[in-house]
Amino acid sequence: MSDERFRDSQLSDSQFYDSLEEVAPGHTFMDSKEIVLNMGPQHPSTHGVLQVVLKLDGEKVNGLECIIGYLHRGIEKIAENRTWAQFGPFVDRLDYTAAVSNSLGYCLTVEKLLAAEVPKRAQYLRVILTELCRLASHQVWLGTHVLDIGAVTPLFYAFRDREMILNVFEKYCGARLTTHAFRIGGCRWDAYPDMAREVLHICDDLGPKIDEYRDLITGNRIWLQRTKGVGYISPEDCIAYAITGPVLRGSGIRWDVRKAQPYSSYEDFDFDIPIGKNGDTFDRYLVRLEEMRQSIRIIRQALEGLPEGPVIAKLPKVLKPPAGEVYYSIEAPKGELGYFMVSDGTQQPYRVRVRPPSFINLQALEKMAVGSLVADVVAIIGTLDIVLGEVDR
Amino acid sequence: MPEVPEGNPPNATPETAAASAPAAPAAPAVAAKPAPVPWQSTLVDGLRAAFGENIRDAATYAGQNFLVVDASAAHAVLAQLKDSCGYTSLTDLTAVHYPKDERPFELVWIVYNMQTSERIRVKARYAEGEMAQSATDLWLGANWPEREVFDLFGVRFAGHPDLRRILMPEDWTGHPLRKDYAPTLQDQAWVQKNLGIESGQ
């Protein structure tokens, strides 16, 4: 789309209508075939400050453009002016519905630079907390996505159950949302005395709860009509856009960083990677629901095999990773979360690049939504499961 | 990435090195400097045969492979990696600014082979004002990352369909991720005009 539209907006209203008059004398604004509609940045279903400019012919979307950057805080610039350890809490603010995952990705990458060995117990603890975080993140996705499409009740179910997970985070590290759960070299805290029992209780409890979500949503006729065949993306396009996470798997490609390049002892656990067939919103919904079940499986195994020992490696107080660069990635709830880091051997990072799954996946919104209806755009934004903190950084 | 040379003694932290081998220098960071080792494979040989001197370096660091290529050949190397070597996915594109160098902008493409789970970083250096060639003809997904590099570093891409700023406001001046852009620096005129405040700091 050209810049013309934005220049138009510099005109006053009367000038704008005059300019229309010049193009099509005798016609009013409403007669034009296509209208441009601004959705957001303050819109409840854009999940944050995302602005989508739609070119509409009636209800049909003929063109679409995402305008992002409203939440740009310069996180990557901040990193260059903090020490390696000081930057740890900042990454929680990327994907704030899955702060634990961000923290894991960051710590693993710095550990890779340091060539530090993380104790086995810390790796297992990390897996337990990250999978809990995946459950919590998927519950936010489920609640809000279904709400966007018009079902109010599941939101309360999902948030009710998410509460139990946040309580565990709170007991573990004192924070519920921006947890800063991990430190470079391991975990700051060992599991609190009752943690294993409480997490196991969540696992026992959540299985039937997921069935409950399924019973509420899956067979619902309105839900089916609003999701089946909506927001289709082919496997080829997924690869062309480098889409990862449940969106990729929904299109039938069985790829998950946890299996492809296992980190933090994921190779020890037995779990499946669910995939969809049709690459539409409904399949992505099924994939995420099944992922939640698999997360429970992983947590159970990690709890069972939780080894004894220290939870943090002995590292110097002042971290100075040797000069060099690495890229390391993890499977965050939204997709592949990667960090590219350059160290110049000093206390501060020379460069930290975050490869946010939401940013990369959101790029495909245009491909998925053009040709569909306005109401489907809402469904597609929901199914991409984006978090603007991560898109804009 | 192939996790082969994981945990080499030279890669060990001062602590672990000191614990296992007391003779190892325990002085932090600078002393125990792991160096990239040359990366030999049929893929590199093939690329060297096709591009000759334009492949400046092929090395492995911390178990991760990277190629340093001449800026003029970067696009062709990426195309070959994609079309004949199975690196079908462009995971990420980013840049690093080295202001003291003659060619200060290093672009880093991270390509991924889904069949073998291998990753390669392709790096090329660009001078101030030099155009890089857009990879949007190879990967649709290169669009936004290239816009971001242009926005935050000021590197332009030839052949990009829509090279505009993406994270910063469209009429902002300056490229914030350059090293000479101080953390508190801002486009004062923009802030005053658009936010109606004296300063954002």
Identify the pLDDT of residue A63. Answer: 87
| Contact call for B34 and A322, based on CB within 8 A | yes
Residues of chain B contacting residue A320, judged by C-beta atoms under 8 Å apart: 28-30
d(CA B103, CA B101): 5
| Local confidence pLDDT in tens for the 393 residues of chain A | 444 544 455 667 677 666 665 555 555 555 557 888 888 787 777 777 888 888 888 888 888 888 998 889 889 999 998 999 999 899 998 888 889 999 999 999 999 888 888 999 999 999 999 999 999 999 999 999 998 888 888 899 999 999 999 999 999 988 888 888 898 988 888 888 889 999 999 999 998 989 888 888 888 888 888 888 888 999 999 999 999 999 999 998 999 999 888 998 898 899 999 998 888 999 999 999 999 999 999 999 999 999 988 988 888 888 888 888 999 999 999 999 999 999 988 899 999 999 999 999 999 998 898 888 888 898 999 898 888 888 988
Q: What is the pLDDT of residue A201?
A: 92
- Residue B184 maps to a domain: no
* Arithmetic mean of pLDDT, B23-34: 46
The reply to whether A314 touches chain B by the CB within 8 Å rule is yes
Q: Is B6 in the same domain as B45? A: no
Residue B113 is part of which domain span?
36-170
Same domain, B56 and B92: yes
Cα–Cα distance for residue pair A250/A291, rounded to 1 Å: 11
Tokens linked to B59: 């090395």
Q: How many CB pairs under 8 A join A and B?
A: 133
* Contact at CB, B14 and A316, closer than 8 angstroms: yes
Residue of B nearest to A320 (CA): B29
Is residue B9 domain-shared with residue B41, that is, in the same domain? no
For residues B55 and B107, membership in a common domain is answered with yes
Instruction: Kindly state whether residues B30 and B84 are assigned to the same domain.
Output: no
Q: How confident is the model at residue B21 (pLDDT cuts 50, 70, 90)?
A: very low
B68/B141 same-domain check: yes
How many other CB atoms are found less than 10 A from the CB of residue A254? Answer: 12
Q: Write out chain B residues lying below 8 Å of A242, CB-based.
A: 89-92, 112, 139, 141
Q: Which of the four pLDDT bands, split at 50, 70 and 90, describes residue B144?
A: very high
Structural class in CATH, domain A75-392: mainly alpha
Contact A69 B169 (CB under 8 A): yes
Distance of alpha carbon A134 from the chain centroid: 9
Alpha-carbon span A324 to A112, nearest angstrom? 10
Say what the pLDDT of residue A48 is: 78
Residue type for position A339: Y
Round to whole Å and give the CA distance between B141 and B115. Answer: 19
CA A262 to chain centre: 19
Q: Is residue B178 part of a domain?
A: no
Residues 94-133 in A contacting B (C-alpha not used; CB under 8 Å): 112-117
Same domain for B139 and B66: yes
DSSP string, A212-272: HHHHHHTT-HHHHHHHTTTT---HHHHHHTT--THHHHHTT----HHHHS--TTGGGS---
CB contacts of B61 in chain A (<8 Å) are: 324-326
Task: Test B183 with A325 for CB contact under 8 angstroms.
Answer: no
Q: Is the dihedral of CA A249, A254, A260, A265 positive or negative?
A: positive
pLDDT bracket for residue B15 (50, 70, 90): very low
CATH 1.10.645.10 range(s) for chain A read 75-392
Which of A78, A240, A324 faces B141 most closely, judged by CB atoms? A240
Contact A315 B140 (CB under 8 A): no
- The nearest alpha carbon in chain B to A393 belongs to B167
B129: left (phi over 0), alpha (psi -120 to 50) or beta: left
Q: Which residues of A touch B164 (CB under 8 A)?
A: 3
pLDDT number for residue A27: 54
Mutate to test the interface with B, among A94, A327, A361 (most CBs of B within 10 A): A327
Chain A 352-381, residues with CB within 8 Å of chain B CB atoms: 353, 355, 359-360, 363-364, 367
Q: Give the phi and the psi of residue A333 in degrees, each rounded to 5.
A: -55, -30
* Residues of B whose CB is below 8 A from A316: 13-15, 28
| Residue in chain B nearest A6 by alpha carbon | B170
Chain B: give the shortest CA distance to residue A249, in Å.
13
- Shared domain for B152 and B63, answered yes or no, is yes
Q: What is the pLDDT of residue A357?
A: 92
Q: Provide the domain count of chain B.
A: 2
What CATH number corresponds to the domain at position B44? 3.30.460.80
